[in-house]
Amino acid sequence: HAGAFTRAKILHRDISAGNILIVRKTIDDTGRVASRGLLNDWDLSKSTVEGNDQPRRPERTGTWQFMSGRLASNLSKPHLLPDDLESVLHVVIYEAIR
């Protein structure tokens, strides 16, 4: 997510437990395993280029279960980086409890 936001200027806008993949691979002969997260399903993503902050649709996009409180309480607000980061926090809490 950080790479997409800083390099490509894109917000995902639909971070949920179903859109995060954990990829594990063996990294050496000792059998050590490295894990890496992969964010998929970029269908609802949007460029953050200036002047592109209006919602595409009048209804809110994204997975309600993991949506930031700011967006869920006010549907007219534009989706910002803190909203995606709060969604990541909701996913971590959800998976930890589950």
pLDDT tens string for the chain (98 positions)?
988 999 999 999 999 999 999 998 888 788 888 888 899 999 988 888 866 555 555 556 678 899 999 998 987 888 889 999 999 999 999 999 99
Structural domain containing residue 4: 1-45+61-97
Question: Mind giving me the DSSP string for 52-91?
Answer: --S-SSSSPPS-GGG--HHHHH-TTSPP-HHHHHHHHHHH
Question: How many domains, in total, are found in the chain?
Answer: 1
Q: For residue 39, is it within any domain?
A: yes
Q: What does the pLDDT read at residue 79?
A: 87
Q: For residue 52, is it within any domain?
A: no
Q: What does the pLDDT read at residue 83?
A: 93
